[in-house]
Structure 1
């Protein structure tokens, strides 16, 4: 992933202190930040809606102009992924996860923002996050990476990973779908001209339990195939 800005040009990300509990969603939003994405749903099977927030800083110093390839202006403001469960007794939200890495900071003007409008959802008690990689210059590769997490005690455990990859020059495609509960993966290869992908099932090499903090940069995550 090439970067057009010099490293010294990108301001260091400064993350705020976020409350451990709050009666409202606004209580988790520090000054100078805003709620970019919000999803509610039951993550711990207690019949009460929990909340997932993507907080985005709004600092004009982090909006950089580019004179090289790629977008003329890039918003490099950092994001925070925050997950909070609602407590029945206190009726307050309790912070479960504060993550700074899964959603990578957008610092390359040759790449589109990895987080799209409908990238976060809660379905059947699971948290699903989709990231996109698309270069407007410098690379023919494009892919989406989708992570499915399930709450287990204080861990948001990775139970599913799906990656759909396309090479825009050759038309070659490759799809990976991993179930970390069964430790099985389906790998399919083909092309955009041939809709009949050839799937191959295999076992993954590791049975390690991955919590969300173990993933790191979601676009750079390498599954254990």
Structure 2
């Protein structure tokens, strides 16, 4: 009987450990949040299908009237990254409120549209802004964190690209391309390229970004 009592705690711990690993992606969404969008792909080079969840807070206090007297949900959004393993999923990284609401006021134009892409084992956080262009952040899992290794943007005037910027935080290099053809109509731009060295001591971690809207890449 004494031996059974000694073995029982270890047996229970083994069961609980297995249960903790055997989770579905939705099990990682904390209370007070809901799934907004879900993406899948291999992020850690093991050939398994990992998941990225965009989540959204559900605080009713953030459902407000906008300037058009329309009720909109201004709750912020966040991200949860999950790695697939033999028993289920495990948390790789998270940031619960780093993205603004999809219902922000875009002024004379719509607010930028957020979407995620998983490609070549990298995580891309992409903002599209219609005729005005886009910007995107490239993260890679290393040193037990998703770290920002690249940034790309395009500033447009309709079909015409005015300026492109590409930053590689690993090589500490920045490339800018400026259109010098004032009469360009799209596809006939003439770009002047400039390379710059940038200064950065530590790579930015996904989990430490307070607000992507305030992540100023022009400082580099």
Write the distance in 2 (CA, Å) between the matches of 1:82 and 1:59.
19
The corresponding residue for 1:92 is 88
1:149 aligns with 2:174: no
Gap change, CA 1:106 and 1:41, over 3 Å in 2? closer
Residues 1-16 of structure 1: pairs in structure 2 closer than 5 A: none
Tell me the alpha carbon deviations over residues 63-107 of structure 1, each in whole angstroms, 9 at most, x when there is no partner: 322236xx844320221200011233xx13111212134422457
Could you tell me the TM-score, scaled by structure 1's length?
0.71
The corresponding residue for 2:14 is none
1:185 Cα offset (Å): 1.1
Gap change, CA 1:215 and 1:33, over 3 Å in 2? closer
Structure 1: segments with no counterpart, 5+ residues? 1-19, 135-140
Bigger drift between 150-159 and 201-210 goes to: 201-210
Gap change, CA 1:65 and 1:153, over 3 Å in 2? same
The corresponding residue for 2:116 is 120
The corresponding residue for 1:26 is 26
Secondary structure at the residue paired with 1:195?
Answer: coil
Residues 191-210 of structure 1: pairs in structure 2 closer than 5 A: 193=185, 195-210=189-204
User: Which structure would you say has the larger Rg?
Assistant: 2
Write the distance in 1 (CA, Å) between the matches of 2:112 and 2:21.
29
Bigger drift between 179-188 and 194-203 goes to: 194-203
Instruction: Decide which structure has greater helix share.
Output: 2
The corresponding residue for 1:182 is 171
The corresponding residue for 2:80 is 82
Aligned length: 192
Write the distance in 1 (CA, Å) between the matches of 2:89 and 2:22.
5
Could you tell me the TM-score, scaled by structure 2's length?
0.73
Secondary structure at the residue paired with 1:26?
Answer: helix
Structure 2: segments with no counterpart, 5+ residues? 1-19
1:153 Cα offset (Å): 2.9
1:53 Cα offset (Å): 0.4
User: RMSD value over aligned CA atoms?
Assistant: 3.0
Write the distance in 1 (CA, Å) between the matches of 2:99 and 2:76.
9
